Structure formats: C-alpha cells, structure tokens
A = this chain, B = another copy of it.
Amino acid sequence: MDAPNGSQNSEQTLDSEVKAFFDSAPPLHNSNDVIQKLNHFIQLNSSPSENGVGRRIVCVTSGGTTAPLEQRCVRYVDNFSSGHRGATSTEYFLKAGYAVIFLYRRGSFQPFCRSLPGDPLLECFEATEGLNIQVREAYSKAVKTAIVDHHAAVASGLLLKLPFSTVFEYLQMLQIISRPMKDIGPCAMFYLAAAVSDYYVPWKDMVEHKIQSDGSYLLDVKLVQVPKMLSVLRKDWAPLAFCISFKLETDTNILLNKARGALEKYNMHAVVANELSTRKEKVVVVTIDDKITVTRDKSKADDDVENPLIKLLSQRHSSYIEDSKRMR
C-alpha cells in the first residue's frame, strides 16, 4: 500500500494523515504546565533588551522517539539516538546568544554533560574513609562543568528543558512549542536533530494488553508512516521560522541525494547531512544553492563539529532575519 503520489491529492492526503495521527494520539498529560513554562520563557527572551531587539530563540530537538506497540506499553519500537548532537549544539547556541528550548528524549545526553561517563553518580564519586563522598580527581572538571554551567543556563532563564518519550508526545509538544514561536516570526529557529520514528501504530489499532507470545512462532507488526510534520511546521505551524532538519544515513552513497530531497520536499532552509560513522567529525550543510562541508578543528583536542556548524547557521539565520525585514 503506497501513499498516493499525485501532487494534486498529496496536500489533502497529508492533512488527513496529520488529523488521523493527532486524533489517534493519547492526550498529553502535562500540556498546561508545558504551555505555561513556554509562554513565560518566550515572553522573557523575546522582549527587546538594551539594544532594542529581542533574543533569537531556537528549539533544539534531541534524542530518539519511541512508537508503542501496546497501549499499556511494554513493547515499543525505538530509534537509536544518544542525543549527543542536540546536547552539544545547545551549548554552542547558548554561546552564540540564543535562548534554547531543549526538547529531549528522557535519558538522552544533556547539555554540558557529554564528558561524563554513562553512570555519572556511581563513576564520578567515591566514598572517603569517614564515609563522606567526593568527586574522583579524573572527573572533577567534567562534574564541575555539568553542574555549574548547566545550572547557570537554566537559572538565567536561557535554557528551557522539556522531555518526551513517545512520538505522540514529541509531535504534540512540537506543535505546542510552535504556537508562541510563530509570534516571534523570523527570530525563531527550529533545529530538528531528534531521530523521529518514521512509523507508528495508531493508538486505536493497538491491543490494550501485552501481546501474547505463546503459540505463534511469527510476530507480524504492521506500522503506518508518521505524517511528515516538517511540511506542516513550515506551512502552518510557524511559517516564518528558520528551519533546519537532519538527515542521518549509514550509507554514504545515498546521503547527499536524500538530504537534497528533504530540503525540497519539506521546504527547509537547510538540511544537515551526516553519516553515522563520521558524524562527530564532519557534516554537510545542504541549502538551496550551496553544499558546505563543515569539519571539526582536529588541531584542538576538544573542538566539536557543532562549533563551526552553529556559527554557520547563526550567520545564515542573521541574514535570513535581515532579508525578512527588507521584504516587509
């Protein structure tokens, strides 16, 4: 069963798929709380400061989403993503003067925490003889960065963290975020680094209880495509926002064509193309008239590819804001 390809019907099809997705999604538990935090955050940061302009605000999405296979969820399909890209980029966006809404998968990497080991509390601390606890020498810098810089960003009102797990939560929250972001027009950026499920089981099609495994040797799971919300974000949710999406592939041969395809199909301002095995060293920023390779400065041990990447995108975003003003 293929999606209809005729361009005449495709917009209608997308609209009905989007409606079906949101109709089928379980309601977001804490939506009022999220809306309140968001409105406060955006109001605070978009108010004109001394120089007469508000801050630019970026929504960074990070980590993978899950697609539940059962309503009382025991099994789900997950997309691998450590959230390293989103967490690191958030640090550089803050450095570049942005306020950041960090929409992240629970348990994924957090900004200022990427030098920590997997289980930081148990690995970074030790008990002294008097049964006091102290930071192990080897981790003292990483622990200090994590706690001091992270808390400073949150406390200064420049970093708002919102967690998700399922693809239903993620897309509902992205829609909620886009509402106040729409109001700040071209000063808003979406930096969509999350690895969003391509397929889901509509909530109403799901069995309520745990799928029983006895008897049947074969399990056949049928999933339908998650509607391409990038199109909806650009077209309806926040049409003036500067939008960056990502394309991750394990096969280099198809990567750039796929990135170019996504750029045109979803009308993105740029698509960041990255290959799984080299993604911390190099990415290619694909725009409508450019293909810019961005690499980590290897002469510095602790440089990140996100450093030049966010510099480039921040410049492009500035030009975009200027262009928007001229066109008014």
Binding site for B on A (CB under 8 A): 1-3, 66, 69-70, 72-80, 106-107, 110, 113, 116, 118-122, 124-127, 131, 133, 135, 143-144, 146-148, 150-152, 195, 198-199, 208-211, 213-225, 248-251, 261, 276
Contact = CB atoms under 8 A, between A and B. Distances in A.
Given A121-B143, A220-B222, 6 more contacts: A70-B250, A107-B118, A113-B121, A122-B150, A131-B148, A133-B135
A113 B106 contact: no
A9 to B, nearest CB: 13
Nearest to A146: B121
29 contacts: A3-B217, A74-B195, A74-B250, A76-B77, A76-B80, A77-B77, A77-B221, A113-B121, A113-B122, A121-B146, A125-B147, A126-B147, A126-B151, A127-B152, A131-B144, A133-B135, A199-B219, A209-B249, A210-B248, A210-B250, A210-B251, A214-B261, A216-B225, A217-B224, A217-B225, A220-B220, A220-B223, A221-B222, A221-B223
Given A119-B110, A223-B219, A225-B216, A133 B143 contact: yes
A118 B146 contact: no
Contact of A2 (B77, B121, B216): B216
A195 B78 CA distance: 16
A124 to B, nearest CB: 7
Contact of A219 (B133, B150, B198, B219): B198
Contacts of A147: 121-122, 125-127, 133
Given A133-B148, A209-B250, A251-B209, A1 B121 contact: no
Contact of A221 (B73, B122, B221): B221
Which of A118, A143, A215, A217 has the largest count of B CB atoms less than 10 A from its CB? A217
Most buried by B among A147, A222, A249: A147
A225 B219 contact: yes
A71 B188 CA distance: 38
Contacts of A74: 79-80, 195, 248, 250, 276
Contacts of A118: 106-107
A208 B276 CA distance: 13
A164 to B, nearest CB: 13
A219 B67 CA distance: 13
A133 B125 contact: no
B133 A144 contact: yes
Given A147-B126, A250-B209, A121 B116 contact: yes
A224 B218 contact: yes
Contacts of A213: 198-199, 225
B69 A75 contact: no
Contact of A1 (B150, B218, B251): B218
Contacts of A214: 261
